[in-house]
Amino acid sequence: MVKQFAIVLLLALPAFAQVAADANRGYRTPESRASIATRLADPHRDARDRLPELVNELKIAAGMSVADVGTGVGYLLPYLSRAVGAKGKVLAEDIFPDYLAAAKERAAKEGLANLEYILGTEKDAKLPAGCCDLILVLDAYHHFDYPAEMLAGFRKALKKGGRLAIVEIYKRPGAMPGNNAVEHVRIDEADLIKEVEANGFRSLSSKEFLPGRQYLAVFTPN
């Protein structure tokens, strides 16, 4: 009986560890990622996702070091790069080499020079210790298969007084046009805040960012 229980437990472990299986289903092959990349590079995102307003909301200023975790094809990089200026730095992280290559290509076309590219893993964004004034996770937290491990890495990467900003989709009907947010997104706002706080952070603020679609939650390490 004990042996049977152990086998059942081992079989169940991946289900508990990899918690974002539904959200990550479309990223398993280069072909499916290329399809998603087309949407990520949609020029209408500027107005639709209010990216300039996000930079202002987070008070990103010249000289800061900012990480864009889950940068994808790098759509946000020009906004961050110009906000931190020549004396600042933007660390663009993703777990997919093809997305990082696309981000580099975009940055080159924009003439951005203050960028560093990091290939992370499902458990570790590979950000250097004490590197960042701000870590930004835009529409990517629900893709974390190992949130506790990721958050542990974020704590180490943030400077004293640094902030973790998570822009996330509501787990509600209608929050994702063309997709089912209730199935796609793992947890809603209140539970996300509890999860991040349970992993060594203190909540600074939480507010709706895109009406009915997204919220912005900001934290600092304890």
Q: What is the pLDDT of residues 178-193, one digit of tens each?
A: 677 888 899 999 999 9
For the chain, give every domain's residue range: 19-221
**Is 186 in a helix, a strand, or coil?**
coil
Query: Is the Cα dihedral 12, 13, 14, 15 positive or negative?
Result: positive
Residue 173 has pLDDT above 90, yes or no: no
Q: Give me the pLDDT at residue 118, please.
A: 98
Q: What is the pLDDT of residues 42-93, one digit of tens each?
A: 666 656 778 899 999 999 999 999 999 999 999 999 999 999 999 999 999 9
pTM across the whole model:
0.83
Q: Within 10 A of 17 (CB to CB), how many other CB atoms are there?
A: 13
Can you tell me the distance from the alpha carbon of 154 to that of 126, in angstroms, rounded to the nearest whole number? 9
- Higher pLDDT pick, 7 / 95: 95
Q: Give me the pLDDT at residue 203, please.
A: 99
| Amino acid, res. 108 | A
CB 26 within 8 A of CB 32: yes
Residue 23 has pLDDT above 70, yes or no: no
**What is the mean predicted confidence (pLDDT) over 142-171?**
97
**Which of these CATH numbers, 3.10.20.90, 3.30.465.10, 3.40.50.150, 3.50.50.60, describes 19-221?**
3.40.50.150
